[in-house]
Amino acid sequence: MDHAALFGQAIHRRRCFQLPGYMTLAEIGFDGPWVSPIQIISGNLTGPMLITKDWFDAPSAVKNRKVLLEQGYLPGIPFNAVLDKALSLIGLTRRDIYITPVFKLLPPKRSHSIRNADTRASFQAVTQHELLGRKPIAAGQDAIRALEHFGIPHIPTVHPSARGLDYETRATLIAKAFEKS
């Protein structure tokens, strides 16, 4: 089966996945031809794959609807500033890569702690079907734990929003992970 067909199956799986306490993309008006809206810009099915914790929380997604539906991400926030810097260090753009969250639902608030069992359920139901033979870069402990739990070979790195490190250090570590992919 080709990548586009497998991607279509992952979209279908995401549409079917639900857990109590979390919103689906459809429930807040973000359903579309993607597994995660970040793929509006970063959905290269053959490019390096970056797996992160989640895409956004429900209230922030609703508040920033216009820009998120245009770009799939919110420019200027630490996560995106660091990721853009990392990509520029290695001569890539967002269109060259594939980004997906390990957790496909929307938490009820920003920086919400997601139970490991919920992250694993999301990975098993949806995210594993996006791998398409790639060795993903796991950004942050949530992504690393999920991939380790399922025995998926990956390249671990820091989360772009990791606390305790400056932007330059985070960007450099993430760039090095992309170079290994």
pTM recorded for the entire structure: 0.95
pLDDT of residue 103 exceeding 80: yes
Which neighbouring-strand residues pair with 103? 54
C-alpha to C-alpha distances, 44 to 26, 30, 55, 73, 130, nearest whole angstrom: 23, 19, 17, 15, 11
Computed over every residue of the chain, the mean pLDDT equals 96
CA distances from 3 to 9, 13, 81, 131, 132 (A): 10, 15, 29, 10, 7
d(CA 17, CA 179): 33
The pLDDT of residue 112: 80
Within 10 A of 70 (CB to CB), how many other CB atoms are there? 10
pLDDT tier for residue 1 given thresholds of 50, 70 and 90 = low
CA distance 67 to 16: 26
Q: Which residue has the tokens 């053959």?
A: 46
Give residue 111's pLDDT band: very low, low, confident or very high (50, 70, 90).
Answer: confident
pLDDT in tens, 59-72: 999 999 999 999 99
- Residues 20-50 have pLDDT tens digits of 999 999 999 999 999 999 999 999 999 999 9
| pLDDT tens string 129-176 | 999 999 999 999 999 999 999 999 999 999 999 999 999 999 999 999
Q: Which of 2, 1, 7, 5 is nearest to 131 (CA)?
A: 7
Contacts of 72 (CB under 8 A, 6+ apart): 34, 36, 37, 38, 39, 40, 41, 42
> What does the radius of gyration of the chain's CA atoms come to, in whole angstroms?
15
